Structure 1
Amino acid sequence: MGKWPQSIELAAWAGWLLLISATARLRILIMNLSLLGIIATALVLSVTLNAEEFVFEANYDESKIPAYELPDVLAGVTTADDWVAKRVEWYDLLSREMFGMAPPESQGATQFRSAADNTLVLDGKVLLRQLIVELAGKELNLALFLPKSATEKAVPVFLGYNFNGNHTVIDDPAVLLPQSWMRSTSDHQAHEKDRGTSASRWSIEQIVDGGFGLVTLYYGDVDPDFDDGFKNGVHEQLGIPAADQAASIATWAWALSRVVDVLEKVEEVDATKVAVFGHSRLGKTSLWAGASDERIALVISNDSGCGGAALSRRRIGETVWRINDSFPHWFCGNFKKYGNHEADMPFDNHVLLALVAPRPLYVASAEADQWADPKGEFLSCLHADPVYRLLGTEGLPTDTMPAVNEPVHGQIGYHMRSGKHDVTDFDWQQYVEFATRHLSKLGPR
Structure 2
Amino acid sequence: MPTTAKSTTLQIATLCLALTLPTAMLSAQPAGYNYDEAKVPAYTLPDPLVMADGTPVTSADQWPKRRAEIMDLFLQEVYGKAPGKPEGLHFKVIEQSDDAINGKATRKQVRVFFDADETVAMDILIYLPKKLVDAKQPVPTFLTLNFFGNHSISDDPAIVLSESWMRSSKEKGVVDNRATEASRGASASRWPVESIIDRGYGLAAIYYGDIDPDFDDGFKNGVHALYDPPAKDGWGSIATWAWGLSRAMDYLETDSEIDAKRVAVFGHSRLGKTSLWAGATDPRFSITISNDSGCGGAALSRRAFGETVARINTSFPHWFCDNYTKYNDNEGACPVDQHQLVALIAPRSVYIASAEEDTWADPRGEFLSAVHAAPVYQLLGTDGIGGETEMPPINKPIMHTLGYHVRTGKHTVTDFDWNSYMDFADQRWVK
TM over 0.5: yes
Instruction: Verify the 8 A CA contact 1:182 1:188 in the aligned structure 2.
Output: yes
Q: What displacement does 1:402 show?
A: 0.6
Q: Return structure 1 stretches of 4+ with deviation > 6 angstroms.
A: none
Q: Deviations over 1:159-198 (max 9, x none)?
A: 0101000000001101111111122423111111111111
Instruction: Verify the 8 A CA contact 1:118 1:130 in the aligned structure 2.
Output: no
Residues 1:108 and 1:199: Cα distance change in structure 2 (over 3 Å): farther
Q: Deviations over 1:330-366 (max 9, x none)?
A: 0000001000000101111000000111001000000
Give the SS at the match of 2:427. Answer: helix
Give yes or no for the alignment of 1:180 onto 2:164: yes
Distance 2:232 2:310 in 1: 16
The equivalent residue for 2:151 is 167
Give the SS at the match of 2:107. Answer: strand
Give yes or no for the alignment of 1:311 onto 2:300: yes
Structure 1 residue aligned with 2:218, among 229, 240, 261?
Answer: 229
Give the SS at the match of 1:130. Answer: strand
Distance 1:371 1:399 in 2: 22
Give the SS at the match of 1:278. Answer: strand
Give the alignment of 1:183-332 within 5 angstroms. Answer: 183-184=167-168, 185-332=174-321
The equivalent residue for 1:20 is none
Instruction: Verify the 8 A CA contact 2:268 2:413 in the aligned structure 1.
Output: yes
Tell me which amino acid in the other structure corresponds to 2:38: S
The equivalent residue for 2:23 is none
Give the SS at the match of 1:393. Answer: coil
CA RMSD of aligned residues (A): 1.3
Instruction: Verify the 8 A CA contact 1:367 1:404 in the aligned structure 2.
Output: yes
Distance 1:94 1:300 in 2: 19
Q: Deviations over 1:245-291 (max 9, x none)?
A: 11100011011111101111112111111100000000000000000
Q: Deviations over 1:369-402 (max 9, x none)?
A: 0000000000111000000101111110211111
Instruction: Verify the 8 A CA contact 2:96 2:106 in the aligned structure 1.
Output: no
The equivalent residue for 2:97 is 118
Q: What displacement does 1:108 show?
A: 5.8
Distance 2:331 2:207 in 1: 32
Tell me which amino acid in the other structure corresponds to 2:225: E
The equivalent residue for 1:18 is none
Larger radius of gyration: 1
Q: What displacement does 1:56 show?
A: 7.6
Give yes or no for the alignment of 1:362 onto 2:387: no
Give the SS at the match of 1:286. Answer: helix
The equivalent residue for 2:107 is 128
Tell me which amino acid in the other structure corresponds to 1:124: G
Tell me which amino acid in the other structure corresponds to 1:165: G
Give the alignment of 1:91-106 within 5 angstroms. Answer: 91-105=71-85
Give the SS at the match of 2:96. Answer: coil
Distance 2:45 2:341 in 1: 13
The equivalent residue for 2:404 is 414
Give the SS at the match of 1:116. Answer: strand
Give yes or no for the alignment of 1:401 onto 2:419: no
Give yes or no for the alignment of 1:57 onto 2:32: yes
Q: What displacement does 1:109 show?
A: 4.2
Instruction: Verify the 8 A CA contact 1:110 1:262 in the aligned structure 2.
Output: no
Give the alignment of 1:50-89 within 5 angstroms. Answer: 57-75=32-50, 76-89=56-69
**Structure 2, unaligned runs of 5 or more:** 1-29, 51-55, 169-173
The equivalent residue for 1:40 is none
Q: What displacement does 1:120 show?
A: 2.1
Give the SS at the match of 1:118. Answer: strand
Distance 2:227 2:406 in 1: 39
Distance 2:99 2:342 in 1: 38
Give the SS at the match of 1:399. Answer: coil
Residues 1:108 and 1:347: Cα distance change in structure 2 (over 3 Å): farther
The structure with more helix, counted as a fraction of residues: 1
Q: Deviations over 1:11-42 (max 9, x none)?
A: xxxxxxxxxxxxxxxxxxxxxxxxxxxxxxxx
Give the SS at the match of 2:204. Answer: strand
Instruction: Verify the 8 A CA contact 1:171 1:195 in the aligned structure 2.
Output: yes
**Structure 1, unaligned runs of 5 or more:** 1-54
Give the alignment of 1:125-164 within 5 angstroms. Answer: 125-136=104-115, 137-148=119-130, 149-151=132-134, 152-164=136-148
